[in-house]
Copies of this chain bind each other. A is one copy, B any other.
């Protein structure tokens, strides 16, 4: 399979993108990564031609979408941007999916404009993957930030898309779908969540009802649906809390005596493994659901390892046939979704 990588997206581009692409290509010798961006800058990063991996390709693009650019404007205005060109490779069948760590508003706008939306989806969403403490799978939460204001039908659409994703990616028969709320009782929530719950009850989905924020990290549910405002706050809060625990642990070890320091040294490989699990890097970015294609947005702060993992996630998503699965799910949902 072939994957297009926006080599100029993200805070540490293009260096980390080249690093991630090379690492991925080394592990997946029958796949191809196409690095998209300014050839004059990418060439020296890849080193002498004869030493290059045969499955890392280059595609020139002269422009870059900045992190501060207005998403839709940048996609329309910068026709030769590395982001736009990467998405076009996917649209034109020259790649089976694309990855970008760039301006997420522009990535979403570009995907919607160039690839189109799955039939019946009014607005696509970002999905966030969160580790479950009692299973090897992550939970998927959407929308993680694409749509600040949503209506009940859109939340129900997110449920359909997330459920299809969980079925195709993890081979779950009946993924458990929940709505994020401020309590589990049905009387809780806002008008929006209550309307969405009512709509979801008409569906054949395995709806478990409302869950609170802590359920995001357990196997009580596989798919957690919320609006993009709340979802973004839940995602950023979970990153902040996990990183706060890490910082407090580090500070405590620094202040502690020699036995604790020795203990920390012995525990170092385990703690590194822990960081690997918690780190967004391991989860390889947020898949976009509801677009007619396979796109992964990696974190803007991504380093090489995170880019590599995002390419792995892109590969897995393409292999799972997400495009067709989403489209089928939306067709079946039309009866109750209205």
Interface residues of A (CB under 8 A from B): 131, 133-134, 145, 148-149, 180-183, 188-191, 212-218, 226, 228-230, 232-249, 251-253, 256, 259-260, 262-271, 273-274, 277-278
Contact = CB atoms under 8 A, between A and B. Distances in A.
A145 B182 contact: yes
B232 A182 contact: yes
How many monomers of this chain does the complex have?
2
A99 B239 CA distance: 32
A242 B244 contact: yes
B248 A234 contact: no
A246 B232 CA distance: 23
Given A189-B229, A232-B182, A216 B245 contact: no
Contacts of A273: 252
A238 B268 CA distance: 25
A229 B182 contact: yes
A149 to B, nearest CB: 6
Contact of A274 (B183, B248, B270): B248
Nearest to A144: B182
A205 B149 CA distance: 28
Nearest to A251: B133
Contact of A267 (B180, B233, B235, B253): B253
Given A133-B247, A267-B264, A230 B233 contact: yes
Prevailing SS type, chain A contact patch: helix
10 contacts: A133-B248, A148-B188, A182-B228, A213-B236, A214-B240, A217-B240, A233-B233, A233-B234, A242-B242, A263-B263
A148 B238 contact: no
A280 to B, nearest CB: 12
A235 B248 contact: no
Contacts of A230: 229-230, 233
B216 A237 contact: yes
B277 A270 contact: no
A200 to B, nearest CB: 18
B239 A237 contact: no
A17 to B, nearest CB: 24
A278 B247 CA distance: 11
Given A148-B190, A217-B240, A248 B232 contact: no
A259 B265 CA distance: 9
Nearest to A228: B182
Given A133-B244, A236-B212, A241-B217, A274 B252 contact: yes
A182 B238 CA distance: 13
A240 to B, nearest CB: 3
A296 to B, nearest CB: 20
A247 B234 CA distance: 19
A246 B243 contact: no
Contacts of A148: 182, 188-190
A183 B300 CA distance: 14
Contacts of A248: 131, 133, 274, 277-278
A244 B269 contact: no
B266 A245 contact: no
B234 A217 contact: no
A131 B149 CA distance: 30
A243 B214 contact: yes
